[in-house]
């Protein structure tokens, strides 16, 4: 639950950092007398996405080697700092493109700490049996964060747009503090329980001058997983640690060699290309074609995110029941191609595979049987998959900006092509899953 809350705040802060209606925010930021304000806004926009895509490939490597609680906390605090710095540009009357591009690039880098860390935490708590459904429900935070980010931006954008960044920045920094004290990385090492036990012992020593001897039977009668809460001098706390904690973290190239990582990574590239093109350009499309005002267009575009909540849950549930992650993604992407103009349905069909790949599939591959029990690959695999997808997230809006002057139909043809390519990249894995269903090979989840 806490991981959901953390990622909702992170996603909302990320979303409000990069999504505003171009005709409003571009003018406010770069002065109305500049004809190229949309180009300048695009540069700020892409500085975030490119930095995020590059940083993601390195983020997972660090995530495997440092405590996830500290890693996520530092990332959230820094993200709050850079988001507030962006908003302070309004009050300091800064109109330099380099200032905003630098702040957004740094924000993109520090936000890469979020996704690998939270997926690894949630993956540590749940097995493969119901992982798709559980992570599908959990992944609804992305769409909820998108909606919250849009609403927060809309409140302040016409009066003091700087607060559209400062408020989320304060929220995410505050959540980072909560993360430090309360996030439990896995069910074995419950840092919260350890802190409580140590605090109680300290209080007992302060009151009685020595530890209460009656507490020992209480700890000894608890389950074996809680034996780690005994004092550091006892040998049984060492023996209860799982051997996998001492396993060397997987390398970047080693993660790439895990079967399925390359296919799902490239598939996510095109799936994110479609999703982020809608994310950035849908309000502008609605305003231009349906002649809605900017606020109404922004509100209408949230239907795509609402569909994404349903799609992520359905994709996880179906993949759990069938055991076919790739087949589920492929079918939904095929159905999405002719539905690109239906916001609610398209949101479900596009974001369903996107959510499944970045959560359950990443967790499955991060604990793949080829790793022989080495669990210290989850963060790296997640970073590789999401980092590759983030390249598509940067390319999609850029291509849409280049193609849209030739007509919106051409933009939709580009999105349909991306959907088809995403399906083709999964063809080998789909074939393998179908053969498993037909009894030609053992069927495996993931």
Span 32-58, pLDDT tens digits: 445 555 566 667 777 888 898 888 888
Low-confidence stretches of the chain (pLDDT beneath 50): 1-28, 31-33, 191, 211-246, 445-446
Residues 6+ apart with CB under 8 A from 158: 24
> Does a structural domain hold residue 239?
no
Domain CATH code at residue 332: 1.20.1250.20
> Does a structural domain hold residue 393?
yes
> Does a structural domain hold residue 147?
yes
pLDDT in tens, 294-310: 667 767 777 888 888 89
Q: State the number of CA atoms in the 13 A half-sphere of 345 facing the CB.
A: 9
State the residue range of the domain holding 262: 1-187+249-435
Question: pTM of this prediction?
Answer: 0.73
Rounded distance between C-alpha atoms, residue 315 and residue 420, angstroms: 18
> Does a structural domain hold residue 214?
no
The pLDDT score that the predictor gives to residue 425 is 93
> Does a structural domain hold residue 220?
no
Looking at the 3D structure of the chain, how many domains does it have? 1
The pLDDT score that the predictor gives to residue 222 is 36
First to last CA, the chain: 24
User: Helix-strand-coil percent breakdown of the chain, rounded to 5?
Assistant: 80, 0, 20
Q: Judge contact between 422 and 319, C-beta under 8 A.
A: no
Rounded distance between C-alpha atoms, residue 286 and residue 297, angstroms: 6
> Does a structural domain hold residue 444?
no
Helix axes 140-156, 294-322, angle to 10 degrees: 170
> Does a structural domain hold residue 445?
no
Rounded distance between C-alpha atoms, residue 95 and residue 91, angstroms: 11
Rounded distance between C-alpha atoms, residue 98 and residue 306, angstroms: 35
The pLDDT score that the predictor gives to residue 329 is 93
Q: Which residues of 336-359 are buried (b: 16+ CB within 10 A; e: fewer)?
A: bbebbeebbbbbbbbbbbbbbbbb
> Does a structural domain hold residue 216?
no
Q: Judge contact between 298 and 25, C-beta under 8 A.
A: no
């Amino acid at each position: 639950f806490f991981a959901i809350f953390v990622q909702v705040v992170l996603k909302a802060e990320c979303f409000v950092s990069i999504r505003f209606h171009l005709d409003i925010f571009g003018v406010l930021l770069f002065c109305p007398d500049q004809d190229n304000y949309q180009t300048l806004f695009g540069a700020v926009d892409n500085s975030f996405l490119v930095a995020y895509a590059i940083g993601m490939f390195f983020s997972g490597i660090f995530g495997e080697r440092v405590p996830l609680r500290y890693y996520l906390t530092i990332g959230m605090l820094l993200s709050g700092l850079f988001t507030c710095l962006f908003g302070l540009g309004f009050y300091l009357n800064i109109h330099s493109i380099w200032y905003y591009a630098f702040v957004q690039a740094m924000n993109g880098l520090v936000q890469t700490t979020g996704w690998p860390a939270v997926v690894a935490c949630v993956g540590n708590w749940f097995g493969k049996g119901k992982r798709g459904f559980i992570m599908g429900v959990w992944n609804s935070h992305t769409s909820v964060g998108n909606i919250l980010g849009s609403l927060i931006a809309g409140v302040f954008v016409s009066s003091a747009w700087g607060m559209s960044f400062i408020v989320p920045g304060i929220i995410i920094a505050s959540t980072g503090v909560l993360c430090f004290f309360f996030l439990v990385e896995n069910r074995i090492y419950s840092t919260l329980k350890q802190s409580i036990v140590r605090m109680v012992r300290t209080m007992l020593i302060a009151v009685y001058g020595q530890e209460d001897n009656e507490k020992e039977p209480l700890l000894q009668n608890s389950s074996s997983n809680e034996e780690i809460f005994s004092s550091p001098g006892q040998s049984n706390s060492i023996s209860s640690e799982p051997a996998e904690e001492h396993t060397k973290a997987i390398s970047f190239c080693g993660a790439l060699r895990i079967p399925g990582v390359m296919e799902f990574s490239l598939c996510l590239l095109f799936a994110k290309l479609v999703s982020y093109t809608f994310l950035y350009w849908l309000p502008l499309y609605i305003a231009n074609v349906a002649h809605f005002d900017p606020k109404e267009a922004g509100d209408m575009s949230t239907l795509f995110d609402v569909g994404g909540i349903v799609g992520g849950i359905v994709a996880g549930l179906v993949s759990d029941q069938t055991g076919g992650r790739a087949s589920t993604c492929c079918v939904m992407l095929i159905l999405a191609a002719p539905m690109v103009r239906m916001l609610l349905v398209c949101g479900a069909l596009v974001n369903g595979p996107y959510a499944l790949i970045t959560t359950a599939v990443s967790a499955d591959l991060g604990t793949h049987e080829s790793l022989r029990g080495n669990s210290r690959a989850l963060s790296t695999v997640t970073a590789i998959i999401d980092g590759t997808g983030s390249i598509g997230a940067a390319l999609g809006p850029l291509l849409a900006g280049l193609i849209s002057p030739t007509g919106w139909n051409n933009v939709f043809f580009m999105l349909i092509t991306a959907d088809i390519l995403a399906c083709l990249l999964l063809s080998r894995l789909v074939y393998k899953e179908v053969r498993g269903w037909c009894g030609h090979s053992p069927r495996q989840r993931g």
